[in-house]
Structure 1
């Protein structure tokens, strides 16, 4: 599962959820429970529901195939807090690469009430049971637009989503992304989002940032996979990147 970095255009994504025993979580139950108690004492709003992690992935320019399994959110949080000790799984999520009509990106700043408070990245969330279809398919396309709406308050007619996907593999993250382009320039879009999150009772975002070039990449606040995606985007014109397939690594 561990892969330093690969960014690949794919035409479609196929994701399923299958039974899987996560041995690491089974073997570290006590440490996971203690970590959860510590986390909840600091952030009481945290809820230990079920989430989906990736146990298998295959990526070609034609298709990205992900196999997910269900686990407790507490297991995921402990795995993150302990430095991702098990390299056989990944946190795989759908993510809208939100940008204005001028090509500048818009990232959210996570609220300090959330697990990732202060971090900066595009709207996204680890898949959960709400993303599962009756046949076992994980609906990543719907997960992407739902998270975008929940975090930013944007409506379907505020943006258009590309048909193709960009898969960013940088373990422990697997970001399955689509460009979501707003109908207005990024600065105007950012103000629109700020106004909408100001009306939310429990906003996940505290603010947004406009990312226009390499100088706006924030190594302290942005996860590594996002830094890599932005560098790739600014080196390979994102305005035309939906139309070809490629691989970039370093």
Structure 2
């Protein structure tokens, strides 16, 4: 994991050769996925085609990268076959929501979603709506996902400066600590009430994690790595 002071990512559209070469496989995989989960939508997403941490002479660390645009179906196929080397990484923001009494609060994805049963911080692969003046607004994406998935507005929480990066060969997780003034129980109750009002909630339920022993196998790999580092002290 790497702490950075800022993230600076550009939108640099270009073809994704993997999607072009595997177009037939992608179409077949998407047709099968729709049979199982007909509510899924083949929208557009952004994948990172370059990115690295740069350190200035004064010690300031900035992650600089660039994204291309592709279909969700192409991304889903790439993900479901194990994220093989394909010239891109999934660079996504996560709202690492924590309570006033020291717990982290994560959501379990609903059965109608592509990640059913997985436990995540509010997050999502960026999409074209996150592009601002030629830049991919990762912080804005994090705030949007938090609001859409949990109902929490930015005014109700505090965002820590900077970000923690959890990186591997196929992912870059931009982890943003988000602090609530409420206890975990109150926060979970608030979000459950929001989910009950939503006719098609993305999340099925919330989970409060306070210790290493509560990081179960359903917790998404990037979120789990972050939690182990933070809770492990």
TM-score, normalising length from structure 1? 0.88
Q: Which of 114-123 and 135-144 deviates more?
A: 135-144
Could you tell me how far 1:136 is from its partner in structure 2?
1.1
- Superposed displacement of residue 177, structure 1: 1.5
Contact 2:108–2:206, Cα closer than 8 Å, also in 1 = yes
Distance 1:84 1:74 in 2: 14
The correspondence for 1:227, drawn from 217, 220, 224, is 224
Alignment-derived partner of residue 186 in structure 2: 188
Partner of 2:162: 164
Alignment partner, residue 75 of structure 2: 76
User: Is the Cα contact below 8 Å between 1:168 and 1:176 reproduced in 2?
Assistant: yes
| 4+ long deviations beyond 3 Å | none
Contact 1:170/1:224 (8 A) holds in 2: no
Name the residue aligned to 1:92: 91
Q: How many residues align?
A: 228
Map Cα deviations across residues 159-192 of structure 1 (whole Å, 9 max, x no partner). 1111211111134221112100011111211111
Give the Å deviation of 1:110: 0.4
Please report how far the alpha carbon of residue 87 of structure 1 lies from its aligned counterpart in structure 2 after TM superposition. 4.7
Between stretches 150-159 and 206-215, larger displacement belongs to: 150-159
The TM-score, its normalising length taken from structure 2, stands at 0.94
Name the counterpart of 2:27. 33
Higher relative contact order (CA 8 A, sep 6+): 1
Of the three residues 178, 181, 187, the one matched with 2:176 is 178
Whose strand fraction is larger, Structure 1's or Structure 2's? 2
Give the superposition deviation at 1:85. 2.1
Tell me the distance in 2 between the aligned counterparts of 1:188 and 1:171: 38
Q: Deviations over 1:12-57 (max 9, x none)?
A: 1101111222111111110000001001111111111110001111
Tell me, what secondary structure is at the counterpart of 1:198? helix
**Contact 1:170/1:225, CA 8 A, preserved across alignment:** no
Give structure 1 stretches of 5+ with no counterpart.
1-6, 237-250
Cα deviation code 1:67-116 (max 9, x no counterpart): 11001111001001111122531111111100101221000000011100
Q: Are residues 28 and 40 of structure 1, via their aligned partners in 2, closer, same or farther at CA, if it must alter by over 3 Å?
A: same
Corresponding residue for residue 200 of structure 1: 198
- CA RMSD for the aligned pairs? 1.2
2:18 to 24, 30, 35: 24
- TM-aligned CA deviation for residue 121 of structure 1: 0.9
Q: Name the SS for the 1:108 alignment partner.
A: strand
